[in-house]
């Protein structure tokens, strides 16, 4: 683990938490050494027939993006996990990844470290799918049918029709949605193939899909936990 950290100078640290908790998470992260971050809104999905009938299948989420020096990775995971009880289900998810990686490819690092609750793992990656507004729910449905546990939908629409938003330095046209899915790598290929087939991502103008390898996670639990 230490050898891997020394390879890269910075990490992208992301936290998905309940609505209203973003400022508290960012404040705690600053006390742990983070210089700053960006908070934006999203919505999580809960796949339950009863909740869907009641109209409660969407949950407001806040996503906190922070850039940190790689030597703060463990400090952030341990500090935020302890402060916000990420070792318990439904208290939030944190994950980190090296910056300046080639997107959409698997890294060459090899480790089998895992721990219940996601303390140490190199067995996950995050799948980003960018589609036209209104199609994000379809992406989530397809992903879940292919093995995903759910996803977080981010509205990437600009404030005006001639404005643009950006994600990871990529320009996003107005009226777009981003679906972010944290997946076990063993399931990712099936999920990606299912999304691609259903949404025709390969066709011009249909959207974009890319993945990033995840170094470490906090707050992940299997359905059996």
- Give the model's pLDDT for residue 25: 95
* pLDDT at 130 (0 to 100): 87
CA nearest to 100, candidates 198, 9, 193: 9
- Residue 71 token pair: 């030597």
The owner of tokens 């996990």 is: 81
Q: What value does the mean pLDDT of the chain take?
A: 77
Rounded Cα distance between 158 and 130, Å, is: 14
pLDDT at 101: 37
Q: Give strand pairing partners of 171.
A: 166
Q: Which of 52-56, 82-86, 210-214 has the highest mean pLDDT?
A: 82-86
Q: Is the pLDDT of residue 55 over 70?
A: no
Confidence at residue 104, expressed as pLDDT on a 0 to 100 scale: 30
**Helical segments of the chain, H only:** 2-7, 22-31, 49-53, 73-84, 136-145, 185-199
Which pTM was predicted? 0.70
106-148 confidence digits (pLDDT tens): 333 333 334 434 444 458 999 999 888 889 999 999 999 999 9
pLDDT for the residue numbered 167: 58
Identify the H or E element spanning 102: none
In contact, 52 and 61? CB cutoff 8 Å: no
Q: Which residue ranges make up each domain of the chain?
A: 2-218
Structure tokens at 161: 């029709």
Q: Which residues pair with 177 in a beta bridge?
A: 131, 155
Asked whether the beta carbons of 167 and 180 are under 8 A apart, the reply is no
In this predicted structure, the answer to whether residue 194 has a pLDDT above a threshold of 60 is yes
pLDDT for the residue numbered 44: 82
Query: What's the whole-number mean pLDDT along residues 217-221?
Result: 84
Residue 190 has pLDDT above 50, yes or no: yes
**pLDDT of 36 above 60:** yes
Secondary structure (DSSP) of 105-165: S--S-------TTTSS-SSEEEEEEEEETT-HHHHHHHHHHTT----EEEE---SSTT--E
What pLDDT, on the 0 to 100 scale, is given for residue 224?
52
Which of 158, 133, 131 shows the shortest CA–CA distance to 143?
A: 131
Above 90 in pLDDT, residue 180? yes
**Residue 48: its pLDDT value, please?**
56
| pLDDT at residue 8 tops 80 | no
State residue 108's pLDDT score.
32
Q: Which of 149, 143, 111, 117 is nearest to 128 (CA)?
A: 143
Residue predicted with more confidence, 36 or 166: 36
Provide CATH code, domain 2-218: 3.30.70.120
Tokens for 171, please give them: 């320009």
pLDDT surpasses 90 at 182:
yes
């Amino acid at each position: 683990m230490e050898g891997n950290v020394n390879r890269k100078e910075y990490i992208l640290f992301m936290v998905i938490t309940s609505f209203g908790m973003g400022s508290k998470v960012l404040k705690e992260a600053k006390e742990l050494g983070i210089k700053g971050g960006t908070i934006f809104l999203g919505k999580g999905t809960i796949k339950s027939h009863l909740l869907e009938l009641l109209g409660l299948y969407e949950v407001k989420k806040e996503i906190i993006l922070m850039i940190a020096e790689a030597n703060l990775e463990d400090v952030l995971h341990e500090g935020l996990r302890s402060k916000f009880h990420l070792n318990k289900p439904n208290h939030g998810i944190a994950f980190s990844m090296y910056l300046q990686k080639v997107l959409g490819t698997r890294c060459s690092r090899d480790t089998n470290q895992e721990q219940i609750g996601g303390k140490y793992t190199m067995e996950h990656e995050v799948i980003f799918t960018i589609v036209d507004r209104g199609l994000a729910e379809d992406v989530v449905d397809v992903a879940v049918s292919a093995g995903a546990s759910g996803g977080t939908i981010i509205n990437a629409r600009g404030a005006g029709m001639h404005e643009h938003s950006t994600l990871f330095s990529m320009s996003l046209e107005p009226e777009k949605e981003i679906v972010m899915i944290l997946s076990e790598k063993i399931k990712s290929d099936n999920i990606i193939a299912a999304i691609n087939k259903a949404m025709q991502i390969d066709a011009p103008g249909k959207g974009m899909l890319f993945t990033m390898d995840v170094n470490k996670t906090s707050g992940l639990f299997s359905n059996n936990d």
